[in-house]
């Protein structure tokens, strides 16, 4: 459990902007983090670990998954299942996996398509392929600087979570609040709601282009009951 921050072990799978932002924030909060990549000695991961201090280390996907009590999937959406296979079922078993990835397909240019949607999602594909993992989908609907600081964008706005494991969602919601300062978290139910949050990406990417910034978020406004 996250209780007041500090001293937990996290595995962050992925070395891109998202993985580095998540890993750096967790280290700054006093946690121990291993960043995982396809290969040991991955340059972005080893450079990140060298710069981030004593609580930071780098390894393979498998090593990072074994290291962390809670894991983050910050891998390219199209390659997430390969990365998790490389991490291995034994290393993942029983752990919370916070899935931030979106299944984007840039093969036909920009803006990208989703590889699949409507009746399936990456979150569900992960949960089906790794039934022993407690998948919680969240943070995939905002730009990476906002993921680790829900107050970066002023005012009231919302973060979504979904997943099949109620206790895992509660633990992740606490982590979002305590570590990443997200105070408005909406639970969308089971992992099939990953379809909905992944389908926000086409809107997100168009808003980014239109507004010229990804420092924005969605606010869900509810009419008070009469």
Ligand X SMILES: NC(=O)c1ccc[n+]([C@@H]2O[C@H](COP(=O)([O-])OP(=O)(O)OC[C@H]3O[C@@H](n4cnc5c(N)ncnc54)[C@H](OP(=O)(O)O)[C@@H]3O)[C@@H](O)[C@H]2O)c1
| Largest separation between any pair of C-alpha atoms in the chain | 60
Q: Which residue is nearest to ligand X (CB)?
A: 16
Instruction: Give the shortest CB-173-to-ligand X separation in angstroms.
Output: 18
Beta carbon of residue 156, minimum distance to ligand X (angstroms, whole number): 21
Burial of 150 per CB tally in 10 Å (0-12, 13-18, 19+):
buried
Q: Which C-beta is closer to ligand X: that of 60 or that of 173? A: 60
Distance CA(190)–CA(121), nearest Å, equals 12
Please report, for residues 46, 103, 183, the alpha-carbon distance to residue 133 in angstroms, rounded to integers and kept in the order given.
27, 19, 26
Interacting residue ranges for ligand X, rule: CB under 6 A? 14-19, 37-38, 42, 74-77, 79, 82-83, 100-102, 104, 140, 143-144
Nearer to ligand X among residue 37 and residue 49 (C-beta): 37
Between 15 and 66, name the residue whose CB sits nearer to ligand X: 15
Q: Decide if 71 contacts 111 (C-beta within 8 A).
A: no
Q: CA 64 to CA 47: how far, in whole Å?
A: 16
Which CB, 92 or 167, lies closer to ligand X? 92
My answer on whether omega of the bond before 111 falls inside 30° of 0, hence cis, is yes
Q: Closest separation between CB of residue 3 and ligand X, Å?
A: 28
d(CA 126, CA 142): 21
Q: How far is the CB of 221 from ligand X (least distance, A)?
A: 23
Q: How far is the CB of 148 from ligand X (least distance, A)?
A: 11
Nearer to ligand X, 30 or 61 (CB): 61
């Amino acid at each position: 459990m996250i209780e007041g921050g500090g001293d937990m072990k996290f595995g962050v799978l992925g070395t891109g902007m998202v993985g580095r932002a998540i890993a750096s924030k967790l280290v700054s909060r006093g946690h121990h983090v291993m960043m995982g990549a396809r290969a040991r000695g991955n340059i972005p991961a080893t450079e990140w670990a060298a710069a981030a201090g004593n609580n930071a280390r780098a390894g393979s996907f498998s090593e990072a998954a074994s290291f962390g009590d809670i894991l983050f999937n910050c891998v390219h959406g199209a390659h997430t299942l390969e990365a998790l296979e490389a991490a291995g079922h034994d290393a993942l078993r029983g752990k919370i996996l916070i899935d931030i990835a979106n299944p984007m397909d840039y093969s036909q240019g920009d803006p990208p398509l989703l590889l699949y949607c409507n009746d399936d999602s990456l979150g569900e594909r992960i949960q089906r392929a790794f039934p022993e993992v407690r998948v919680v989908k969240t943070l995939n609907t905002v730009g990476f600087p906002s993921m680790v600081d829900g107050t970066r964008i002023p005012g009231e706005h919302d973060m979504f979570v979904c997943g099949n494991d109620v206790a895992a969602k509660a633990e992740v919601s606490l982590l979002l609040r305590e570590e990443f300062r997200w105070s408005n978290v909406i639970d969308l139910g089971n992992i099939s709601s990953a379809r909905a949050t992944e389908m926000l990406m086409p809107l997100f990417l168009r808003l980014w282009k239109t507004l010229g910034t990804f420092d924005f978020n969605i606010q869900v406004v509810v009419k008070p009951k009469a």
